[in-house]
Structure formats: structure tokens, C-alpha cells
């Protein structure tokens, strides 16, 4: 009688949002527990390498080591490329030399570069490559970090500009090696300068006698090898590119960037912005407690400094707070409303900077808009909270103070939430880096100062 837990799991077992189902994880860990390599292979066979990488991140270090060793030759280069950087550093030493060599030889040059540049000890990967692949990787690593030279793959399908569709088809059929995935054939002149892209769809749909240059794509963008990868990702997104040739300083074709790599950069930049705005750095579920503490402590110290700055403002009005306890009850509301409004504006601004929608040409229009938004939102909440404060504490003047402070802080929140990331961006810094903490600190301090300052003037 066969054990049902070792039978291959239907891919429908995964949840609708593509998370691994608990049943899958339990079946795999049970096979690992028993040391059943055959059952493990059957369970992993229908899974995508990205799902296997997720699995390795979700289980504990002991089970992870046993799983990797039990997989043996089934551990592929695609799994390795899908792993989180920190986890990859822990798994590579677990792989036998022959398994590692076979795994990395499966990868295209761009995936190899991505793999090597993030490793603490890349020698294990470099030593596993043959001379040709190692030279290609080391050549790519000579380009600046975050450049198109690091992002591109060297495997390019090219053709002379005078070729016909028949020439192109015969060339591809007779080639000893083609990239696993490519979308265009790049037309080049005699000096290897790219002049056009021809999609595979147009090649397959045209008569053999048709000249390739006659069916070339209308949109053609060439990427410099030193261009920043963020600009590359923007170009792909802006102009709906599928792939683009990369040229060296002399304009000669040296590689190609495909949409999957460009979108990975775009996704990584958005993720980084979100993490920085939240005050955390890049991490994963597999990080140790010590690593996580070290990553978060600096941001928490920054938050502590911001809190001390707010407390210092409050301390200047201790006499007013002692005389009117209602001030201590109401002042957090003023600061919180300003902080929330500032965060809203900050998020929109950082996003607009990332998509190049916010420029010098329209910054003043955006500032005016945020000023009016802050004024109108402030007026609405000033009416609500001003009336509530007046009734709550039976002090009409306190209601007016509350209303005025809310309007002032909402105006400041709109202006600071727009200007701080914009100025940081123009200074060459990441607009998300310190914006969140600075905006929150500013709105807190100004909220306290406006509310308690007006209360001291009116009530004392």
C-alpha cells in the first residue's frame, strides 16, 4: 500500500495566490525526514524553481540543509538564481562541487553575473565555470555596479542588415547554441553597430525572400553599457520594450537586455523605496535575529531622535500644559493628522519621482495643488475637531485653537511631503531614504508648536 504523502502533488494544490500550500510543505518535509530521495524528486518535479526557492526560505536551517543534500543533482541553476542573496550564501557551501558546476553552467551570462555580484565569496561560482563563461562574467563585473553592463546578457542573436528572412531562419536552425529565451534578432552594420530589431514573430510570418530591414520594428532603443540600470528599467517601461541591444563606448553591440531583467530592476527599486520609507533595510525571512537587529537599530535610533525632538518642543510649553490638561489630551491628534497627511503626500511624490512624472517643469504646480489640498482637508478636520474640542471641554477658544493648529499642520504636511523627497532627489540621494523620518518629525514638531504656541498666547 503506497503512502499518499509521497505521491506527486497536483499543481492545483497551491493556493489561488500562488503561495505554497501547507499540504505541499508537509509532504516535502516528510519525504526529507524519511530520506526518501525518489519521493522528494516526484514532489518537486511539478514545482517551478521560484516555488522551490520560496520553500527553502520558509523551512528551518536544519531541514533546509537536509533537503538540499537529498536533492543532489536535481538542484538546478534556476533554483540558485531565484534564491534570496543571503540564503544563497548559506546554500552554496552545502552543494557538492559537481552539482554546483552543473547548476551554474545552465545559466545565461546575465544570471551568472547577478549570482556572482551578490555573493560574499564568489570564488565558488567562478571556479565552477569554464574559461569562456568565467571571462564573460569577469568582463561584465568590470562595469560599474548597477549599470547596463552588469544587467545585460552576452548571448545575442544578430544578423547583417542585408540578410533576408530565409537567411535568418537558416542561421537560427544551424546555430550550435541559441539563448534559451530571446525575442529579437538584432540587425548590425559591418562595424557591429546595431541599427534595428526584428521580432521573431515577424520573421516567422514573412516570406523567405523578404529583407529583414523591411520588417524591422518602428521603436528602437539602444542602451549604453554604462547607463544606470534604473534608467534602463524606466526606458523599458516607458517605451514598452521587449529587449534592447547594449553597446560599448564605440557603439558596437556587446549584449542585450530583456524585459524580465528590466522589470526585476524596476520591482527591486520599488521594493527598496517601500522598505526605506518604512525605516527598514532589505531582509528576508531566513535572516538571523542578530542580522535583523543590526539592520533595524539605526532606523529605530533615528526614530528615537525624532521623538526626543518632539519632546523638546513640548517641554517649552510645560506651563500651559500644567494649567490646561486638555492640551495634553488634544495635542497628539494635531501631530497624528499632520503625520498621516504628510505620509500620503510623501508616498505620491516618491512614486512620481520614480516614474519621472515630477520634474522641474511641474514642481510648482504640484506644490500649489498640495497646498490647496492641505488647506481644504485642514478646514474640514478643523471644523470637526474644533467643534468637538469646544463641546468636549466647554471652551470655545480651545476649539478655535485646535482648528487653527490643524489647518497649519496640514498645510505644512503637504509642503514638506512634496519638497523633502524632491530636494533629496535633486541632490542625488534616494528620495525615500530619509524622507519618512524627516516628514514625520517635522509634522510632529510643527503640530506641537502650533497647537501649544497658540494655546499659550490665547489661554495664558
CATH number at residue 399: 1.10.357.20
- Please provide the average confidence, as pLDDT, over all residues in the chain: 84
Q: What's the pLDDT tens digit per position in 397-437?
A: 999 999 999 999 999 999 998 998 888 888 877 776 667 77
State the pLDDT at residue 76: 86
Q: Which residues contact 364 (CB under 8 A, 6 or more apart)?
A: none
| DSSP line for 238-267 | HHT-SEEEEE-TTS-EEEEEEHHHHHHHHH
Band (pLDDT 50/70/90 cuts) for residue 280 is low
On whether residue 282 sits in a domain, the answer given is no
User: Percent of the chain having pLDDT more than 70?
Assistant: 90
pLDDT greater at residue 106 or residue 225: 225
Whether residue 148 lies inside any domain: the answer is no
User: Is residue 152 a part of any domain in this protein?
Assistant: no
Domain at 210, CATH number: 3.10.580.10
Residues 215 and 318 both lie in one domain = no
pTM for the structure as a whole: 0.63
Mean pLDDT of 201-205: 94
451 and 395 share a domain? yes
The answer to whether residue 284 sits within a structural domain is no
Whether 198 shows a pLDDT value over 90: the answer reads yes
In a domain, 150, yes or no: no
Q: Is the pLDDT of residue 9 over 50?
A: no
Give the model confidence (pLDDT) of 115-131 as tens digits. Answer: 777 676 677 777 777 77
Res. 275: pLDDT tops 70: no
Q: In this predicted structure, what is the pLDDT of residue 344?
A: 87
Give the strand pairing for 184-188 and 158-160: parallel
Q: DSSP letter at 89? A: H
pLDDT tens-digit series, residues 166-185: 999 999 999 888 887 889 99
Both 62 and 123 in a single domain? yes
Q: Are residues 136 and 81 in the same domain?
A: yes
**Are 256 and 340 contained in the same domain?**
no
Res 432: pLDDT = 67
Region 315-327 average pLDDT? 84
Q: Strand, coil or helix: what is 226?
A: coil
Same domain, 385 and 239: no
Q: Would you say 425 and 357 are in contact if contact means Cβ atoms under 8 Å apart?
A: no
pLDDT of residue 164: 96
Show Cβ contacts of residue 360 under 8 Å, excluding neighbours closer than 6 positions.
none
* Same domain (yes/no): 177, 262: yes
End residue of a domain, out of 257, 277, 297 = 277
| Residue 314 and residue 399 in one domain | yes
Higher local confidence (pLDDT), 269 or 243: 243
- Domain assignment present for 370: yes
Tell me what pLDDT residue 195 has. Answer: 95
Q: Would the pLDDT of 284 be above 80?
A: no
- 308 and 230 assigned to the same domain: no
C-alpha to C-alpha distance for 218 and 126, rounded to whole angstroms: 40
**Do residue 316 and residue 455 come from a single domain?**
yes
What pLDDT is recorded for position 19?
72
Q: Which of 245, 277, 309 is the last residue of a domain?
A: 277
Tell me if 151 is assigned to some domain. Answer: no
Q: Are residues 169 and 95 in the same domain?
A: no
Mean pLDDT calculated for residue range 229-258: 92
Which pLDDT does position 410 carry in this prediction?
92
Q: How far apart are CA 276 and CA 270, in angstroms?
A: 10
Rounded CA separation 56/260 (Å) = 23
Domain end (from 227, 251, 277): 277
Q: How far apart are CA 195 and CA 188, in angstroms?
A: 6
Q: Give a yes or no: residue 128 inside a domain.
A: yes
135-175: per-residue pLDDT in tens? 878 888 888 888 999 889 888 999 999 999 999 999 999 98
pLDDT at 121: 67
State the greatest distance between any 2 C-alpha atoms of the chain, in Å, as a whole number. 93
The burial of 26, by beta-carbon neighbours within 10 Å (0-12 exposed, 13-18 middle, 19 or more buried), is given as: exposed
Asked if residue 4 has pLDDT above 50, the reply is no
Which residues, other chains included, contact 331 with Cβ-Cβ below 8 Å and sequence gap of 6+?
A: 314, 447, 448, 451, 452
Q: Are 349 and 381 contained in the same domain?
A: yes
Domain with 45, as residue range(s), is 4-142
Confidence of residue 318 (pLDDT cuts 50, 70, 90): confident
Residue 5, pLDDT score: 46
State what percent of residues in the chain have pLDDT above 90.
Answer: 27
**Domain count within the chain:** 3
Amino acid at each position: 500500500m503506497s503512502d499518499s504523502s509521497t505521491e506527486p502533488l497536483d499543481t492545483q494544490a497551491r493556493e489561488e495566490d500562488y503561495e505554497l500550500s501547507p499540504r505541499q510543505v508537509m509532504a516535502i518535509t516528510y519525504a526529507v525526514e524519511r530520506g526518501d530521495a525518489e519521493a522528494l524528486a516526484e514532489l518537486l518535479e511539478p514545482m517551478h524553481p521560484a516555488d522551490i526557492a520560496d520553500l527553502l526560505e520558509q523551512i528551518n536551517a536544519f531541514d533546509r540543509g537536509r533537503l538540499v543534500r537529498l536533492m543532489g543533482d536535481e538542484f538546478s541553476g534556476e533554483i540558485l538564481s531565484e534564491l534570496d542573496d543571503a540564503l544563497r550564501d548559506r546554500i552554496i557551501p552545502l552543494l557538492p562541487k559537481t552539482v554546483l558546476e552543473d547548476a551554474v553552467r545552465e545559466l545565461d551570462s546575465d544570471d551568472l553575473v547577478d549570482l556572482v555580484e551578490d555573493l560574499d565569496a564568489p570564488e565558488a561560482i567562478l571556479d565552477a565555470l569554464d574559461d569562456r563563461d568565467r571571462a564573460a562574467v569577469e568582463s561584465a563585473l568590470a562595469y560599474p555596479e548597477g549599470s547596463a553592463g552588469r544587467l545585460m546578457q552576452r548571448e545575442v542573436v544578430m544578423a547583417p542588415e542585408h540578410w533576408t528572412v530565409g537567411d535568418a531562419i537558416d542561421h537560427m536552425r544551424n546555430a550550435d547554441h541559441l539563448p534559451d529565451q530571446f525575442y529579437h534578432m538584432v540587425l548590425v552594420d559591418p562595424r557591429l553597430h546595431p541599427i534595428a530589431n526584428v521580432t521573431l514573430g515577424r520573421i516567422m510570418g514573412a516570406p523567405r525572400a523578404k529583407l529583414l530591414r523591411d520588417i524591422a520594428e518602428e521603436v528602437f532603443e539602444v542602451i549604453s553599457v554604462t547607463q544606470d540600470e534604473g534608467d534602463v528599467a524606466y526606458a523599458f517601461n516607458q517605451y514598452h520594450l521587449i529587449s534592447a541591444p547594449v553597446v560599448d563606448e564605440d557603439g558596437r553591440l556587446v549584449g542585450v537586455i530583456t524585459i524580465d531583467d528590466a522589470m526585476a530592476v524596476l520591482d527591486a527599486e520599488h521594493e527598496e523605496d517601500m522598505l526605506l520609507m518604512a525605516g527598514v533595510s532589505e531582509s528576508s525571512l531566513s535572516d538571523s535575529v542578530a542580522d535583523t537587529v543590526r539592520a533595524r537599530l539605526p532606523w529605530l535610533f533615528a526614530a528615537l531622535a525624532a521623538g526626543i525632538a518632539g519632546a523638546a518642543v513640548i517641554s517649552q510649553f510645560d506651563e500651559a500644559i500644567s494649567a490646561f490638561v486638555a492640551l495634553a489630551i488634544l495635542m497628539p491628534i494635531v501631530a497624528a493628522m499632520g503625520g498621516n497627511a504628510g505620509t500620503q503626500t510623501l508616498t505620491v511624490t516618491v512614486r512620481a519621482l520614480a516614474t519621472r512624472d515630477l520634474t522641474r517643469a511641474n514642481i510648482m504646480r504640484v506644490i500649489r495643488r498640495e497646498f490647496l489640498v492641505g488647506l481644504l482637508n485642514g478646514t474640514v478636520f478643523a471644523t470637526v475637531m474644533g467643534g468637538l474640542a469646544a463641546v468636549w471641554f466647554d471652551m470655545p477658544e480651545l476649539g478655535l485653537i485646535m482648528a487653527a493648529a490643524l489647518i497649519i499642520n496640514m498645510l505644512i504636511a503637504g509642503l514638506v511631503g512634496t519638497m523633502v523627497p524632491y530636494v533629496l532627489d535633486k541632490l542625488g540621494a534616494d528620495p525615500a531614504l530619509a524622507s519618512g523620518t524627516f516628514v514625520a518629525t517635522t509634522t510632529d514638531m510643527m503640530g506641537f508648536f502650533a497647537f501649544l504656541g497658540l494655546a499659550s498666547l490665547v489661554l495664558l
